Amino acid sequence: MSKESKLMETSPPKSPPPSFIKLAMRNMVRKGQQSLIHLGLTAFGFVGFILIVAWLGRPNFPH
């Protein structure tokens, strides 16, 4: 047996690190109410931003 095959047999298989989505979901569940408030504020701010940009960029047609 070669060195590489012995190393493969003795080392346990490593699991990949958790994804960012899994970490974010775990954090959101742990923090609960604070995460929901921040999500709501972010959604409200984003919708407000889109509405302001749409209002400022509206076309002006002559009457």
Give the tens place of pLDDT for each residue, 33-57: 888 899 899 999 999 999 999 999 9
Asked if pLDDT for residue 30 goes beyond 80, the answer is yes
Structural element, H or E, at residue 35: helix 33-56
pLDDT of res. 6: 55
Domain residue extents for the chain = 30-57
Kindly report the length of the chain.
63
Residue 32: left (phi > 0), alpha (psi -120 to 50), or beta?
left
pLDDT of res. 42: 97
